[in-house]
Structure 1
Amino acid sequence: MKNLYIAEKPSVARQFADVLGVKGNAGNGYLESDTAVVTWCVGHLVTMSYPEVYDPNLKKWSLSTIPFIPTEYKYEVLPDTKKQFNIVAGLLNRDDIGCIYVATDSGREGEYIYRLVDSMAHVTGKEKRRVWIDSQTEEEILRGIREAKPLSEYDSLSDAAYLRAQEDYLMGINFSRALSLKFSNVVQRYLGMDRCVIAVGRVMTCVLGIIVKREREIREFVKTPFYRLVANVGEEGQTFDAEWKAVKGTKYFESPLLYKENGFKERPAAEQLLAELKAGEPEAVAQAVERKKEKKQPPMLYNLAELQNDCSSFFKISPSDTLKIVQELYEKKLVTYPRTDARVLSTAVAKEIGRNISGLKNFQPVAEFAQGAMESGTYKGIAKTKYVNDKQITDHYAIIPTGQGFGALRSLAPTALKVYEIICRRFLSIFYPAAEYQKVAMTLSKNGEKLFANFKYLINDGYLKVAANSFSKKKDDVKYSPEFIARLAKIKKGDKLSVQGIDIKEGETSPPKRYNSGSLILTMENAGQFIEDEALREQIKGAGIGTSATRDGIITKLEKNKYISLNKKTQIVTPTFLGEIIYDIVYYSINGLLRADLTASWEKGLEGVAEGQISKQEYTDKMTTFVTKYTNLVKQIQNQNGITGVFDKTKVFYAKGGGAQKKETRATARTGAKAEKNADTQ
């Protein structure tokens, strides 16, 4: 009997084949030896069927046929991959196959991909084991095979995967049809479109809501000018800034002239104080001097969201591009599994971490730091630090370099090489000491008013020398000369310090910043920030909007639907007029789809199913009740034509882009049918 190994992608299957010594012609759709067969799924081979497969009458969109809630879901083989499905199904049912090793990606979606194939191929009477690995190194693949558990131990994860797909299907079908039937004609006429499909989804619509709300906060923000007074204290060439503040016991404390304690609403008031401060001797007296050391610890390791955020900032690439790059690094054995939410290592990995560090001596940009970490021996105690925590790991630990695969470095594009470098530097940083700063806080008195100085300087760079990327511009961290630092160290209470000058600094309050693709990913990961109720926030702690594997896809889908714009150079995300119209339609019909807490609670629920804490039936009941309730509510809407008055309020901000908007919305219409079936891919 032979063992059958099923990977998710051909490239991964080749890695398994190499490790197992299986050779052959991959053009057959599989590789075979005397003891093993290796094949692959090329991603999804099976999909959920459209409603018309259940009943031909459901092909036509009608309010009378929704809510559509199947009692049993139907699936079908994707036409484009039917050939590979038939190959895999044939292998699964071959008489000489004894044990099936499922080696699709180690996560919810990978589980779903195999289970669909298994179900459609009607596989029975075979032993099935699950290979769960964190990297594609030879040692890890062999360990995964050796320690493979019965597939049945992952049934709860499979249930969660099926429920996620069913939930997105139900919302996509029912809500997109209901809203389109009620509002598409209104939108068509309003925008002069040929056709309109209103595509909504569990995660996609919530993310659209986050983007639109931020844009509207920016529009509604009213800038407030304020005027601060800042003194330049010390000797010429050796000075520091001290800012005036109105504190208790001083003339302007709680004055209505103030914007805040450190500034005035109007310039004349600031000028009046400036004249008062400049009067008399050009000196200030030190009333209090505090010095203390501050440590800055190395940051936590990368998970996918943090890496996508940094890559958006450093390289101006989208989350999708980051995922493609880190997936390539994973498949070339350079880094561990990328689709992870964890930012820590497991205890088991910590015991062997010296191999990862030592291997990096072969990567020139960080070789000296890898050598230093090995020589210091700090890695031996890493398990006792905050960087190792088994409780914070669900499927996979943080993204770290494997310390292997260096033969592939020459094949990497320049940006991919930089991404690998920042992963290596973040990893090695945790084996170096904290950076140390000397903080100085001074309170100065002049003419009865108080000036405050707060600054710090670096006294030990610690891990910072490891974290400094080779491609970044070198920052000059030495703001103060040794002579100046020595002088600062001598200042004590009662000393008189020369005031070189005092200036009025005009400023203004700033609106919230627009999201870039990276900060949006982090916002999706940390959905709890939008929840005011502390108990609920704690309840869904750790649950984000979407998953690490699919958040980038949601942004891509919104962009493809022309609901948002993503600036390729800056990665700044803004809504389109159509996107704001969709937001308003949902707000006045199924506004729960815009709530981050509700979306995050669904994701938390799916986690509960995966962990066996919530039953499949319990989640199904909640899901179908929600879909049924809100589909019926939309069906009852009668005043949909009145919503154009809401659109008018937004229209003024897009007055110049009308032609482009029509072009965009026509493109959206063409993708409507697909969007309806599966508005999210979570």
Structure 2
Amino acid sequence: MSVSLYITEKPSVALEFAKALKINAKRQDGYIEAGDTIITWCVGHLITMSYPESYDPALKKWSMETLPFIPDEFLYEVIPAVKKQFEIVKWLLNREDVTTIYVCTDSGREGEYIYRLVDQVAKVPDTKIKKRVWIDSQTEEEILRGIREAKPLSAYDNLADAAYLRAKEDYLMGINFSRILTLKYGNKVQDFLKGKKWSAIAVGRVMTCVLGMVVRREREIRNFVKTPFFRVLSSFSVTRGDYTGEFTGEFKAIEGSAYFNSPLLYKENGFLKRDSAVELIKQLAGNLPKYNDDGTWNRDESSDECLYGTVTHTEKKKEKKNPPLLYNLAELQNDCSRLYKISPDETLNIAQELYEKKLITYPRTDARVLSTPVAKEIYKNLKGLRSYSVLGGFAAEILSNGSYKGIAKTRYVDDSKITDHYAIIPTGQGFNALGSLSPTAGKVYETIVRRFLSIFYPPAQYRRINLTVKIGTESFFSTFKVLEDEGYLVIAGKPSVLKETQTSQGKQSQDENEENENILDKEFMNTIMNIKTGAKLAVNSLSIKEGETSPPKRYTSGTLILAMENAGQLIEDEELRAQIKGSGIGTSATRAEILNKLVNISYLNLNKKTQIITPTLLGELVYEVVNASIRSLLNAELTASWEKGLTMVAEGTITKEEYMEKLKGFVERMVNGVKTLNNQDMLIKIFKQVASFYK
């Protein structure tokens, strides 16, 4: 009898496959068997790369003479803690009656690597039929589709090559660079820290680059010099019938202004000195009463004299704001860091739990769109979501009005932007597991559902009104942005309203570059809408608002993940991120783990309440060591280019041999370059400068 063997990555996944295949057999020690079907599992990685001493016991001792260490053939070994399960899997893979092997590890580079290592070390003969099951969720329907459409394992050979190369790259850089830098500079770091907790200098292709990003940001903040500036604001009266209100305008030195391109200015809308702002107010108000002690001016209600401004420009236009693209892992991690103050590592663990409980699709994805085949069947997800008590009504409304039918023709569906998996969306199944979720996991699930349902709603509609009012030769600018139609915000949630909300008279406060989205007083808005060019408006006051330039913001765990995704650039605008997206630093599957490691080895600090990330003294010392020896490891673009190379191997654009040749050359050049350096004493001076910030 020919037997089919299914090998999954975890026992819990194996149980889902057993349910889908209708196997009710009793679970054996490490596998499930019934008739012509066996299901077994790994427990994550069963195999690992061997340490140098496995090649030669003499290599256990770190010495410069043995570096660079680049073996011709790499050795692998079973991880001792999971040896029993490996032996079970090995026995099953090699059983004579097993003729077909279905590889059901996670559908990604790492999942591919997990099985290929087992296959290699277990020496599974090529005479067996090996098929790859590639699925996007763990629903019964998707599992059966994956089995039915399974391709030959060989179709994923390029992906496997990239997986092996990624591991070899991290191994060679980690071992060679950590050893050479520890041997060269370790004593200097240890002596400087004077007996504080210490271990070898840890260096990695991605982690060192991320450390560099955080240290450079911290130094930008330290070196930042605040520049004070003084803005001149005017308050104008508006009337319509019995209604009276007021609004604020901001001075800007445009062409025609006496201050156009003046050295007295900070940018076009503020002065470097308060005296200059006071002087402008004097020019505008002249001899009119009444001046305040601080040089500002208020209209004297008891006087017949009044200062007027003339409306020189009005602009009224409608604006649309489309629902954002769907979540990939990086976007989800960023939002969860911002909204719930949880780390990317915790977000990934929650997402993985939601995936294994059939609630969402595969989370380790870089895509933010759906595939065409999924779009055609999306009504199934929506039908299922009607049972979700929190948002089921929205799903029912979408199905009722049929807004899902045209989704394939929108920006939310694009096959060209999908590599392994489409965006993270709810499956519409698994609701019996909702009760077992933690409150935070429940919030994360709700966040994913809200983002998904949003794409079936129309854009939010805004009314933007821009006014320019001249007092003498100087122009004052006002902008009002009003939400007129919620559109998708009804499900996604409205933006936060003004900190200083409007009074019954419609008074508004706006800071520099601040865009406010709020439901303003209707009478006030009707009055503003009816202002015509040439209208005369009474000036109630001329005031000065003091501000100062702000330093760059520290990374949070979420914004750091986004910066890693975009090759070291923190791009806040989601539309721009979608346009320039390429290979970043690390992958969606590894970024949280890298950040976690940097925190665990005390190179970075993560404030759990705020999720703000800062370097430690040790982290900065290691940064200086790398900067003085293998500076290219701190280069975000170069690190991203290595990741791009792995993608090219996976796509078949370059061969694994070409990539390996470049990798070996890089490691050799860097290690041999460090050997020639004699800059240890120079570093001590730099260490002292760094340490002054940690007293």
Structure-2-length-normalised TM-score: 0.91
Distance 1:308 1:422 in 2: 11
Q: One-letter code of the match for 1:213?
A: R
What secondary structure is seen at the aligned counterpart in 2 of 1:28? coil
Corresponding position of 1:140: 142
Q: Deviation digits for residues 578-602 of structure 1, max 9, x if unmatched?
A: 0000001000100010000110000
Where in structure 2 are there 5+ consecutive unaligned residues? 289-305, 502-516, 572-576
Residue correspondence of structure 1 range 418-429 to structure 2 within 5 A: 418-429=443-454
Does residue 151 of structure 2 align to residue 149 of structure 1? yes
Q: One-letter code of the match for 2:463?
A: Q
Distance 2:478 2:659 in 1: 57
Distance 1:157 1:618 in 2: 15
Q: 1:587 to 1:456 in 2, by over 3 A?
A: same
Distance 2:440 2:275 in 1: 52
Corresponding position of 2:123: 122
Q: Deviation digits for residues 485-512 of structure 1, max 9, x if unmatched?
A: 2112211101112323222110000000
Q: Which has the higher contact order (CA 8 A, sep 6+)?
A: 1
What secondary structure is seen at the aligned counterpart in 2 of 1:159? helix
Residue correspondence of structure 1 range 69-468 to structure 2 within 5 A: 69-124=70-125, 125-193=127-195, 195-235=198-238, 238-279=245-286, 281-468=306-493
Q: 1:108 to 1:474 in 2, by over 3 A?
A: farther
User: Does the 8 A contact of 1:350 with 1:383 survive in 2?
Assistant: yes
User: Does the 8 A contact of 1:180 with 1:196 survive in 2?
Assistant: no
Q: 1:494 to 1:539 in 2, by over 3 A?
A: closer
Distance 1:237 1:516 in 2: 45
**Identity rate, percent:** 60
Return the offset for 1:22. Answer: 2.0
Q: 1:485 to 1:300 in 2, by over 3 A?
A: same
Q: 1:381 to 1:538 in 2, by over 3 A?
A: closer
Q: One-letter code of the match for 1:559?
A: V
Return the offset for 1:272. Answer: 1.4
Distance 1:57 1:22 in 2: 51
Q: Deviation digits for residues 189-239 of structure 1, max 9, x if unmatched?
A: 111137530110000000000000000000000000000011222348733
User: Does the 8 A contact of 1:247 with 1:253 survive in 2?
Assistant: yes
Return the offset for 1:8. Answer: 0.5
Residue correspondence of structure 1 range 496-645 to structure 2 within 5 A: 496-527=536-567, 529=569, 542-645=582-685
Distance 1:255 1:559 in 2: 48
Return the offset for 1:469. Answer: 8.5
Corresponding position of 1:668: none
Return the offset for 1:23. Answer: 3.0
User: Does the 8 A contact of 1:187 with 1:196 survive in 2?
Assistant: no
Distance 1:647 1:21 in 2: 64
Q: Deviation digits for residues 49-101 of structure 1, max 9, x if unmatched?
A: 00000001100000000101000000000000001100110110111112100
Q: 1:20 to 1:516 in 2, by over 3 A?
A: same
Distance 1:494 1:139 in 2: 67
What secondary structure is seen at the aligned counterpart in 1 of 2:336? helix
Where in structure 1 are there 5+ consecutive unaligned residues? 532-536, 656-682
User: Does the 8 A contact of 1:99 with 1:127 survive in 2?
Assistant: yes
Distance 1:196 1:288 in 2: 66
User: Does the 8 A contact of 2:459 with 2:487 survive in 1?
Assistant: yes
Distance 2:632 2:131 in 1: 40
Corresponding position of 2:522: 482
User: Does the 8 A contact of 1:185 with 1:196 survive in 2?
Assistant: no
Corresponding position of 2:302: none
Q: 1:489 to 1:602 in 2, by over 3 A?
A: same
Return 109-118 or 371-380, whichever deviates more: 371-380
Distance 2:48 2:390 in 1: 45
Does residue 97 of structure 2 align to residue 57 of structure 1? no
User: Does the 8 A contact of 1:540 with 1:600 survive in 2?
Assistant: no
Q: One-letter code of the match for 1:178?
A: I
Q: One-letter code of the match for 2:232?
A: L
Q: Deviation digits for residues 555-610 of structure 1, max 9, x if unmatched?
A: 00001110000001000000000000000100010001000011000000000000
Give the CA RMSD over aligned residues.
2.0
What secondary structure is seen at the aligned counterpart in 2 of 1:378? coil
Q: One-letter code of the match for 2:606?
A: L
User: Does the 8 A contact of 2:481 with 2:518 survive in 1?
Assistant: no
Return the offset for 1:35. Answer: 2.2
Q: Deviation digits for residues 434-483 of structure 1, max 9, x if unmatched?
A: 0011111111111221101112101111000110289x999985441111
The count of corresponding residues between Structure 1 and Structure 2 is 649
What secondary structure is seen at the aligned counterpart in 1 of 2:327? coil
Return the offset for 1:135. Answer: 0.3
Q: One-letter code of the match for 1:55?
A: D
User: Does the 8 A contact of 1:111 with 1:158 survive in 2?
Assistant: yes
Does residue 49 of structure 2 align to residue 48 of structure 1? yes
Q: Which has the larger radius of gyration?
A: 2
Q: One-letter code of the match for 1:232?
A: S
User: Does the 8 A contact of 2:498 with 2:518 survive in 1?
Assistant: no
Distance 1:439 1:473 in 2: 16
Distance 2:354 2:578 in 1: 35
Distance 1:25 1:276 in 2: 91
User: Does the 8 A contact of 1:540 with 1:604 survive in 2?
Assistant: no
Distance 1:175 1:322 in 2: 31
User: Does the 8 A contact of 2:497 with 2:518 survive in 1?
Assistant: no
What secondary structure is seen at the aligned counterpart in 1 of 2:404? helix
Corresponding position of 2:511: none
Return the offset for 1:366. Answer: 1.3
Distance 2:441 2:92 in 1: 36
User: Does the 8 A contact of 1:243 with 1:262 survive in 2?
Assistant: yes
User: Does the 8 A contact of 2:335 with 2:558 survive in 1?
Assistant: yes
What secondary structure is seen at the aligned counterpart in 1 of 2:226? coil
Q: One-letter code of the match for 1:218?
A: I
Corresponding position of 1:679: none
